[in-house]
Structure 1
Amino acid sequence: MTQHFLLSAASRTLKLKDIYKAGEEAAYRKFCEIRWPETEGDAICPRCGCVETYDISTRRKFKCKACSHQFSVTSGTIFASRKMEFTDLLAAICIVANAAKGVSSVQLSRDLGVQYKTAFVLAHKIREALSDETENTKLTGTVEIDGCYVGGHIRPANQEINRVDRRLARYQTGKRRVVIALRQRSGRTLTFIRKSEAEGVEIARNRVANGAEIHADEASHWDTLNAFFPVNRINHSEAYSANGICTNQVESYFSRLRRMVGGQHHHVSPKYLHQYAAHAAWLEDHRRKPNGTLADRLAANAMAAPVSRNWKGYWQR
């Protein structure tokens, strides 16, 4: 029997102990090489683009010979103003890349030996960076679309006489959201957070290329898509797949998302649900790649991402 890729040695190209064994200097050089690959890790001034810089080794900073601007390897990136060591940053990236269903902030804080607040913000910065991969992506070919409702659970009262009909709007918490996912077969997954699945029609019009074929379930609001795309429908009360028509790929993504939310995080705020959804989509899209490749990709995304306006100084409001 053929061995599954995730069980093979080819999927394990990076070990957490190797990061700490290599030491802080190696981790620092790794970040330099990721930030400035065109010069093999030699600093380039982010202000004027000059390649001639002084190395201030005592503070791990650089000074531009042209404009005298001082900067570090993380200046202007999502890790700007970081206080953690570079080995810990690489370790955090490795842990996030290795976690097939995500990793909780409590577990990350214990693995790194940092406060929960530090781990919480660090994890969200990494999620924000990886979501930039699909910021302007348009899907082509065959695209599956569906929605998955998350959150808003209403705990029933202890005694039966005090229980209410939780389906009624007046008893809702207002925190229930739907994750609308568009997944291109053999391609990327785009996620959006809305209050109604019907809003996915307008999203599909904007993010699916002309000529693409859409597969959807029997929900009536998808009928509008017929005016813009070739649409194939599958009635789940009759079958989950028929003649190649299905939404199984997007349902596979929802399966990962549900297990991430329920098994790892237990509760996700509607305010930040979009980042967890994007994280699950990134893991699903790259599930057949070695963990070393995933870690390198995460690090490259983080070093290319600008300073986060949502997470820099988060706990200081």
Structure 2
Amino acid sequence: MSEHKLPTTLQEAIKYFSDPQRTFDFVIALRWPQGPVCPRCQSLEHRFIKTRSIWACKSCQKQYSVKVGTIFEDSAIKLDKWMCAMWMMVNAKNGISSYEIHRSLGVTQKTAWFMMHRIRLVLQNGSLDRKLTGEVEADETYIGGKARNMHKDKKQKALKAEGYFRKAVVMGMLERDGEVRTKVLNVASAKVLAREIRANVEPGSTLYTDQLASYTRVGQEYAHHVINHAQEYVRGNVHTNGIENVWSLLKRGIKGTYVSVEPFHLFRYLDEQSFRFNTRKSNDQGRFISALSSIQGKRVEYKDLIGQTKI
């Protein structure tokens, strides 16, 4: 699959994937560079049933399509629409709503919403096999609830009470000039914040936080620098502007694009925003290929996505 022949813009992507056979061949080449592999028994022996565009495994006798074992499995939506939906979603700086996907691709809003949640599964691509190193900023923010403008000096009380004002607590750690990691917390106590920092930040790294007392003890394990936002926001190289920019992008997407996000799904939107941030140095084509390369072994059912309360 020659990269220079692939689309580089949305307009080119729509044209490129309008050819069903080319789309089919594209997904096959990306998923199985060495040829189709049975997703059930991993056998390379098969025969292709051209009339149905499926393979029959000679080892386990099962039939499979290019969608089996991916986020596309059991979906009646054709691959061309999946490709365009993914392109639009990963390359929209502030996110894109299910209503926009619905209008652009001619699917129902319900179908678009479900497609987007499936796509979010492939955006969970953080490098969790390594810890963040060097200069790392850590901060927490609050999504939803009535106390949207809670002052910084009131946070300590909020951190000790799970579900305070029904606000979701989100923690983030940003490796400067590197990737960001985010996580929804049930409660952001000093113990929980310390646990997340230890799990994600290499000991001895330089840690930048605000003046929240919850960071004091864990900060002793790092080269800890504190910025007091009541007095200043930048002191030389000491600041948390990077992670706060991540929060700004996240909230802009939630409030401006999605309007409301159910607490049960918040981690999925964090994955989406983190993916776009972590691939910010890639072009649209590279971001699309990066997402598409993770389609295997991931699937969510509609029943798992419904029935929660909005914040």
TM-score range, shorter chain: 0.7 to 0.9
Measure, in 2, the Cα distance between the counterparts of 1:258 and 1:231: 27
Measure, in 2, the Cα distance between the counterparts of 1:196 and 1:300: 34
CA 119–135 in structure 1, closer or farther in 2 if over 3 Å, else same: farther
1:224 to 194, 204, 217: 217
Report if aligned partners of 1:16, 1:91 keep a CA contact under 8 Å in 2: no
> What residue in structure 2 maps to residue 3 of structure 1?
none
Structure 2 stretches lacking a partner, 5+ long: 1-6, 149-156
> What residue in structure 2 maps to residue 191 of structure 1?
182
CA 141–275 in structure 1, closer or farther in 2 if over 3 Å, else same: same
1:114 Cα offset (Å)? 0.6
2:55 to 41, 59, 62: 62
Relative contact order: is structure 1 or structure 2 higher (C-alpha 8 Å, sep ≥ 6)?
Answer: 1
1:126 Cα offset (Å)? 1.1
Measure, in 1, the Cα distance between the counterparts of 2:186 and 2:60: 49
Report if aligned partners of 1:182, 1:191 keep a CA contact under 8 Å in 2: yes
> What residue in structure 2 maps to residue 75 of structure 1?
68
What are the Cα deviations for residues 49-81 of structure 1, in whole angstroms up to 9, with x where unaligned?
A: 222221112222111122222111121122211
What are the Cα deviations for residues 86-138 of structure 1, in whole angstroms up to 9, with x where unaligned?
A: 11010001110221011111111111111111111111111122114345442
What letter matches 1:121 in structure 2?
A: F
Measure, in 2, the Cα distance between the counterparts of 1:203 and 1:221: 12
- Worse overlay, 123-132 or 14-23: 14-23
1:311 Cα offset (Å)? 4.2
CA 313–26 in structure 1, closer or farther in 2 if over 3 Å, else same: farther
RMSD of aligned Cα (Å): 2.6
Give the secondary structure class of the aligned counterpart of 2:70: coil
> What residue in structure 2 maps to residue 33 of structure 1?
29
Counterparts of 1:10-21 in structure 2 under 5 Å?
13-21=8-16
1:312 Cα offset (Å)? 6.8
- Worse overlay, 248-257 or 17-26: 17-26
Give the secondary structure class of the aligned counterpart of 1:304: coil
CA 69–313 in structure 1, closer or farther in 2 if over 3 Å, else same: farther
Measure, in 2, the Cα distance between the counterparts of 1:83 and 1:135: 33
For the pair 1:122 / 2:115, whether they are aligned, the reply is yes
> What residue in structure 2 maps to residue 203 of structure 1?
196
Report if aligned partners of 1:181, 1:189 keep a CA contact under 8 Å in 2: yes
For the pair 1:181 / 2:172, whether they are aligned, the reply is yes
Q: Could you state the TM-score of these two structures normalised by the residue count of structure 2?
A: 0.85
> What residue in structure 2 maps to residue 306 of structure 1?
298
CA 99–173 in structure 1, closer or farther in 2 if over 3 Å, else same: same
1:222 Cα offset (Å)? 0.7
Give the secondary structure class of the aligned counterpart of 2:140: strand
1:200 Cα offset (Å)? 2.0
Report if aligned partners of 1:129, 1:305 keep a CA contact under 8 Å in 2: no
Give the secondary structure class of the aligned counterpart of 1:232: strand
What are the Cα deviations for residues 120-168 of structure 1, in whole angstroms up to 9, with x where unaligned?
A: 111111112211434544212211100111101379xxxxxxxxxxxx9
Counting matched residue pairs gives 288
Counterparts of 1:1-317 in structure 2 under 5 Å?
13-21=8-16, 22-37=18-33, 39=34, 42-153=35-146, 175-198=166-189, 199-301=192-294, 303-308=295-300, 311=302, 314=305
Measure, in 1, the Cα distance between the counterparts of 2:132 and 2:297: 23
> What residue in structure 1 maps to residue 152 of structure 2?
none
Report if aligned partners of 1:193, 1:273 keep a CA contact under 8 Å in 2: yes
Report if aligned partners of 1:175, 1:270 keep a CA contact under 8 Å in 2: no
Measure, in 1, the Cα distance between the counterparts of 2:303 and 2:56: 24
What letter matches 1:283 in structure 2?
A: R
